[in-house]
């Protein structure tokens, strides 16, 4: 049946209008207009804009006032986008095209919310490798949304509804204040030095620091030299030192008992005891552009952190605090991130350190990159059971084995926090440390944050450059084997929250394969239901073990009596 010439153009117009409406440009959606006041910045800002949404509490209910402080794996919905050259006084709109956690902004249900915006300014770095990159930079050990100097908005109680036409207006009128550095005490001294190696690499001043717990009566024995435990961790080392008896509360004791350790005051009592070994315990502070920890090795994306630690900071500390400057007197220790760092330093600088105590380390064998064999499998997020069943891989579990956060959700969090590997969070720093530099100067991701597909070229690079510590040890066993005898001590809970015990099992199997069952190495596993923070003894016990190890391996003529063993 024919259509008249008059009707045809009208029909075409109607169909086009319907298609335009269906495509969505005019569809209502939740959005935010965020203004950077002229008072908030003196020049255009390139960085990451984040808007956080929390449920508004009922009248009279306790509520955390700052949604921005709740960002994290178990945090509320948040949405992020890059901004480039945002001028003071300008406004930018954050809408459903932004990166969302745990879902996109178009999936946020209507309701009453408390919302807040925060802007993470990036710094322009002209690196020595020829790349110019924009990165979040702070010398404080906090995640990027909490950096001092970040502009943010006051929390606003609003009704969010996709049917509303106008965006929610927020203004970055506030600024996160400075974080006061702790003062020295008779027991603890803090140092911070400018690293020439790192500054040259990044094209801007870069600093590296340490917190030094001194042995008892350090100042009374000016001729004594002391062994040192270099301890690593996310926000400080494993040791917890507190001279205040109030820190020895029943609640503190219960919390410490979960990891089989003691309270900070109990540790102080041991450290101050007449029969306790006299050593220094040193926590290194190495925040960089991609995380609160540098991961301790030289890296194409991070820079020469391994050399900065071993060639700049350690000699400085040894001179200033009268430390033994020989391998037998340098011990590395750490848990989680720190466990990986401790092992990495011992393996990559085997002639510099005399032993490593490694607790629940980040993946040390990439055939167990948590639950994924990155060399054989194609996807980080899913496990294909058969042609009909595919399961999501968890990132975190409870001590009873219940999955809590899957890897896809964590990747969504990190994609929201920052693009191009700049999340300042766990997956981002792993890939910034282990992976190659991309054409724009940013880390090449091991896997796609939306699909989970693994980049096999990156996986090969990570192995070839020695970041798969198990493969590195196997490949270099002829050299490393004689140097590592009796130096490696591993500890992991068999229900590690992040499945990190699996890579330790693989490392143990690798050692048995290359060295035999009688090779002097130590593996201890916490059971039953011991999780990520499990230790085989309290930290005073670790120090006693280290002291005995140092004394056993001290060369003839070493002044071991001054260490009061």
Which helix (H) or strand (E) element contains residue 175? strand 174-175
Residue 98 placed within a domain:
yes
Beta bridge partners of 189: 212
Give CA 380 to chain center in angstroms.
Answer: 19
The pair of structure tokens assigned to 411 is: 């990747």
The pair of structure tokens assigned to 142 is: 């906090």
Residue 21 placed within a domain:
no
Verify that 537 and 472 share a domain, yes or no.
Answer: yes
Of 464, 495, 518, the domain-final residue: 464
Quote the pTM value: 0.91
Of 486, 520, 476, the closest CA to residue 331 belongs to 486
Residue 281 placed within a domain:
yes
User: For residue 297, what is the domain's CATH number?
Assistant: 3.40.50.1820
pLDDT value of position 264: 85
Residue 9 placed within a domain:
no
DSSP annotation string for 228-272: EEEEE-TTS-S------GGGG-HHHHHHHHTTT---HHHHHHHHT
Verify that 458 and 531 share a domain, yes or no.
Answer: no
Verify that 93 and 212 share a domain, yes or no.
Answer: no
Of 555, 507, 505, 496, the closest CA to residue 530 belongs to 496
Verify that 65 and 166 share a domain, yes or no.
Answer: yes
Verify that 274 and 417 share a domain, yes or no.
Answer: no
Beta bridge partners of 434: none
3-state secondary structure of 382: strand
pLDDT value of position 28: 65
Verify that 337 and 203 share a domain, yes or no.
Answer: yes
Within a 10 A sphere around the Cβ of 415, how many other Cβ atoms? 19
The pair of structure tokens assigned to 524 is: 């201890």
Verify that 498 and 517 share a domain, yes or no.
Answer: yes
- Using CA atoms, how far residue 280 sits from 210, 231, 356, 454, in Å, is 12, 10, 15, 43
Verify that 442 and 505 share a domain, yes or no.
Answer: no
Residue 1 placed within a domain:
no
Q: What does the alpha-carbon distance between residue 441 and residue 90 come to, in Å, rounded to a whole number?
A: 28
For residues 290 and 301, is the Cβ–Cβ distance under 8 A?
Answer: yes
DSSP annotation string for 102-148: SS-GGGPPSEEEEEEEEEEE-EEEE-TTS-EEEE---SSSS-GGG-T
Verify that 321 and 377 share a domain, yes or no.
Answer: no
Within a 10 A sphere around the Cβ of 219, how many other Cβ atoms? 7
3-state secondary structure of 453: strand
Verify that 328 and 230 share a domain, yes or no.
Answer: yes
Q: What does the alpha-carbon distance between residue 329 and residue 354 come to, in Å, rounded to a whole number?
A: 7
Verify that 222 and 332 share a domain, yes or no.
Answer: yes
Residue 23 placed within a domain:
no
pLDDT value of position 262: 83
The total number of structural domains in the chain stands at: 3
528 preceded by cis ω (within 30°)? yes
For residues 319 and 280, is the Cβ–Cβ distance under 8 A?
Answer: no
Of 447, 464, 481, the domain-final residue: 464
pLDDT, mean of each 10-residue run, the chain (565 residues): 38 40 56 96 96 77 74 95 97 96 95 96 97 92 90 95 88 94 92 97 96 94 94 68 86 77 88 94 93 94 97 98 96 95 98 97 98 97 94 96 96 97 95 97 97 98 98 98 98 97 98 96 95 92 95 85 63
Q: What does the alpha-carbon distance between residue 511 and residue 515 come to, in Å, rounded to a whole number?
A: 6
Give residue 373's domain range. Answer: 369-464
Within a 10 A sphere around the Cβ of 76, how many other Cβ atoms? 18
DSSP annotation string for 493-555: ETT-TTSTHHHHHHHHHHHHHHH-TTS--EEEEETTT--TT--SS-HHHHHHHHHHHHHHHPP
Please, where are the H alpha helices in 289-439?
305-307, 314-320, 337-348, 407-417, 426-434
pLDDT value of position 3: 39
Buried b (16+ CB within 10 A) or exposed e, 439-463: eebbbbbbbebeebebbeebbebbb
pLDDT value of position 1: 44
Of 464, 482, 501, the domain-final residue: 464
In this structure, the chain runs to a length of 565
Residue 181 placed within a domain:
no
Verify that 436 and 499 share a domain, yes or no.
Answer: no
Q: What does the alpha-carbon distance between residue 152 and residue 154 come to, in Å, rounded to a whole number?
A: 7
Q: What does the alpha-carbon distance between residue 442 and residue 424 come to, in Å, rounded to a whole number?
A: 13
Residue 194 placed within a domain:
yes
């Amino acid at each position: 049946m024919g259509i008249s010439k008059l009707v045809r153009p009208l029909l075409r117009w109607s169909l086009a209008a319907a298609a335009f409406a269906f495509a969505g440009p005019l569809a209502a959606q939740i959005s935010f207009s965020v203004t950077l006041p002229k008072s908030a910045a003196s020049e255009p800002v390139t960085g990451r804009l984040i808007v956080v949404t929390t449920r508004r509490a009922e009248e009279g209910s306790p509520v955390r006032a700052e949604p921005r402080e709740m960002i994290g794996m178990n945090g509320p919905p948040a949405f992020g986008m890059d901004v480039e050259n945002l001028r003071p006084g300008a406004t930018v709109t954050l809408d459903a095209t932004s990166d969302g956690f745990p879902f996109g902004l178009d999936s946020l249900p209507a309701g009453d919310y408390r919302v807040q915006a925060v802007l993470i300014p990036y710094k322009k770095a002209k690196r020595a490798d020829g790349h110019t990159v924009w990165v979040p930079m702070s010398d404080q050990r906090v995640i990027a949304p909490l950096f001092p100097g970040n502009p943010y908005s006051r929390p606003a109680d609003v009704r969010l509804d996709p049917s509303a036409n106008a965006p929610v207006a927020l203004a970055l009128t506030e600024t996160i204040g400075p974080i006061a550095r702790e003062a020295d005490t008779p027991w603890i001294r803090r140092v911070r030095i400018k690293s020439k190696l790192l500054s040259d690499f990044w094209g801007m001043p870069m600093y590296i620091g340490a917190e030094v717990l001194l042995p008892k009566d350090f100042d009374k024995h000016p001729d004594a030299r002391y062994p040192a435990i270099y301890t690593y961790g996310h926000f400080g080392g494993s040791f917890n030192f507190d001279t205040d008896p109030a820190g020895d509360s029943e609640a503190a004791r219960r919390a410490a008992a979960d990891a089989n350790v003691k309270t900070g005051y109990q540790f102080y009592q041991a450290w101050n005891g007449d029969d306790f070994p006299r050593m220094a315990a040193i926590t290194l502070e190495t925040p960089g552009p991609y995380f609160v920890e540098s991961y301790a090795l030289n890296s194409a994306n991070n820079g020469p952190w391994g050399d900065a630690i071993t060639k700049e900071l350690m000699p400085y500390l040894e001179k200033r605090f009268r430390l033994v400057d020989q391998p037998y007197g340098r011990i590395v220790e750490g848990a989680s991130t720190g466990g990986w760092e401790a092992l990495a330093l011992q393996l990559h600088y085997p002639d510099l350190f005399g032993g490593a105590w490694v607790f629940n380390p980040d993946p040390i064998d990439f055939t167990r990159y948590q639950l994924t064999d990155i060399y054989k499998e194609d996807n980080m997020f899913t496990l294909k059971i058969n042609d009909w069943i595919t399961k999501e891989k968890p990132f975190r579990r409870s001590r009873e084995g219940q999955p809590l956060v899957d890897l896809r959700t964590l990747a969504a969090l990190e994609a929201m926090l920052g693009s191009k590997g700049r999340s300042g969070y766990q997956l981002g720093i792993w890939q910034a440390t282990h992976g190659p530099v991309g054409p724009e100067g940013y880390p090449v991701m091991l896997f796609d944050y939306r699909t989970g597909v693994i980049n096999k070229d990156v996986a090969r690079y990570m192995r070839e450059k020695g970041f798969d510590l198990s493969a590195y040890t196997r490949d270099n066993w002829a050299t490393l084997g004689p140097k590592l005898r009796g130096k490696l001590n591993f500890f992991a809970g068999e229900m590690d929250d992040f499945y990190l015990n699996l890579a330790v099992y693989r490392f143990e199997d690798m050692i048995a394969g290359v060295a035999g069952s009688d090779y002097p190495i130590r593996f201890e596993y916490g059971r039953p239901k011991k999780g990520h923070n499990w230790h085989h003894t309290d930290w005073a016990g670790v120090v006693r073990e280290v002291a005995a190890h140092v004394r056993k391996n001290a060369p003839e003529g070493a002044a071991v009596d001054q260490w009061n063993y």
